[in-house]
Structure 1
Amino acid sequence: MKFIMKQVEKLNANGVIFGLSGGIDSSLVAFLLRRALPNDKILALFMGERDTHPQSLKHARIVSDALHIELKEINITGILKAIGVYSLEPPPLFIPRKFQERYTINKYLQNQDEKETTFLKSLKGGAGNIEIMKGNAYLHTKHRIRAVLLYFYGEQMNYIVAGCCNKTEKLTGYFVKYGDSASDFDPIADLYKTQVRELSEFLGVPKEIIEKPPSPDLAPGLTDEFALQMPYEKIDMILYALEHNLESELKNENITEKEIEYIKTLRELSSHMRELPPYPEIEN
């Protein structure tokens, strides 16, 4: 809690603004912010759009009501439509959501092969696959528009932006550069996803939010573990082992060399996303 209070003071801010999606990460951030700050110094934005799951707004409202913080609901469908984002995928008009979800899953599977998952290829800029390139633009633009809105409303009130990315996302590249990673401080960026779950349970985040499959909620049916093609428990175990030079211990956990190399590759391909943009250094 002291960390959050220190950031507000350090940046001469009047309060904190963040995106509350109704998922576990942003819900945990909400609970942490509320422990550190008065409720009138916190503003949450729910920025839904055409593909957002109906359950998400319900969960965001449950959290904001429980913590007595203001929730501003903004629909970004019009903005995304004006940019041309929705023209990249078939319109879902009158198509039941379960069929939309099946379409997303099938398309994701069609774009991967035995060597590389679709997500890994996306970190390579699509690896020459036009459909993955379009998918990157389709998904990433949504997070970047949300980042713009967070700063738009935040700066009017001199509120700083709290990020909601966890350590697992940061290390695997499962976040959007200048999108959901755009923030002034990151309260949970040193917590693995499994730790996010544990702390959420401890702080009292609603059970239905903790237990639902984690999802970026950017396309119908697309969940984190499906996109990553590996459960978070295994990913976190590998990441922790790599961080603490315990790779040899992974053999005792029924983790294959192929799985370890996969996580290593994700970490390597996403390294630029965790760094400042490169620039030529001028010699004296």
Structure 2
Amino acid sequence: MEETVDKIVQWLQQQVQETGVNGLLVGVSGGLDSAVVAHLIKRAVPDHSLGVIMPCKSNPTDINHAQDVSESCEINTVTVDLTETHQVLYNGIQQQVRQKGEWQEANDQLADANLRARLRMSTLYTLATNYNYLVVGTDNAAEWYTGYFTKYGDGGVDILPIVEFTKQEVREMASYLGVPEQIIDKKPSADLWEGQTDEAEMGTTYDIIDAYLQGQEIPEADKETIEKLHKRTEHKRNGAKHFVIKG
């Protein structure tokens, strides 16, 4: 694990050097993946790393955990509360569409959640411009393969240091780095709505996805779920399609 962490840190330092930026920043949610990335960027650029805490109708426990992460790796932090911004923007959008009689109630929860993720992305890039930093993503291998991230939200980043690692490997990395135990042991959640958990939303577990990615046998129902998620979210990994004039 020491060798793995050293390689990631060196890679992060290389990205800073190659792009000519001053440092690195990450959104710290209080979850496992962002905690690991916060520790990694602090090691890579100790004096030019930033953790950004962005509550948005968030569970107070997650905010406390985000602060615990910041203290555990002694990273410089800034907190930007997006609750009011989200409410004003979302209510404004709703009002305009409702007047036309075209608001889709069935999509309300997802639209609300995705706007939170995209406001956080915008906040990170505003800060990145100010500091001349790169925005560092937190997706692991399971999330990347299944497309469990918001397009142009938490998927809108410059670099992805842990995207090749399974959730279990990230958990082991967290223990090595000194991430607080209460964060390592908590149920994964993107804090999209009250009571939301990653595994309930995906319809399978990280352990099963990890096993699938490692070529192990898993129940057929889970295999179908994972492959369906992968196919449905291909557009997230490939970016926008563009028209090509055939000569």
Instruction: Return the TM-score normalized by structure 2.
Output: 0.88
Q: How does 1:3-42 map to 2 (within 5 A)?
A: 3-38=11-46, 40-42=47-49
Q: Does 1:187 align with 2:150?
A: no
Secondary structure of 1:164's partner? Answer: coil
Gaps of at least 5 residues in structure 1 are 89-129, 242-248
Query: Which residue of 2 is the match for residue 268 of structure 1?
Result: 231
**The 10-residue stretch of structure 1 (1-10 or 222-231) with the greater mean CA deviation from structure 2:** 222-231
Alpha-carbon distance in 2 for matches of 1:240, 1:86: 46
Q: In angstroms, what is the RMSD of aligned CA positions?
A: 1.6
Contact 2:72 2:180 in 1 (8 A): no
Q: How does 1:92-107 map to 2 (within 5 A)?
A: none
| CA drift at 1:282 | 2.0
Contact 1:15 1:42 in 2 (8 A): yes
Q: Does 1:137 align with 2:91?
A: no
Query: Which residue of 1 is the match for residue 193 of structure 2?
Result: 219
Query: Which residue of 1 is the match for residue 51 of structure 2?
Result: 44
Would the alpha carbon gap of residues 3 and 132 (structure 1) be closer, same or farther in structure 2, given more than 3 Å must change? Answer: farther
Residue-by-residue CA offset, 1:78-97 (whole Å, 9 max, x unaligned)? 11111125997xxxxxxxxx
The percent of aligned pairs where both chains have the same amino acid is: 35
Q: How does 1:106-255 map to 2 (within 5 A)?
A: 130-241=104-215, 250=217, 255=218
| CA drift at 1:136 | 2.0
Give 1:277's match in structure 2, choosing from 234, 240, 243: 240
Q: Does 1:258 align with 2:227?
A: no
Over 4 Å off, 4+ runs: 85-88
Q: How many residues align?
A: 230
Contact 1:194 1:233 in 2 (8 A): yes
Gaps of at least 5 residues in structure 2 are 1-8, 95-103
Contact 1:27 1:205 in 2 (8 A): yes
Residue-by-residue CA offset, 1:164-193 (whole Å, 9 max, x unaligned)? 111111111110000001111011111111
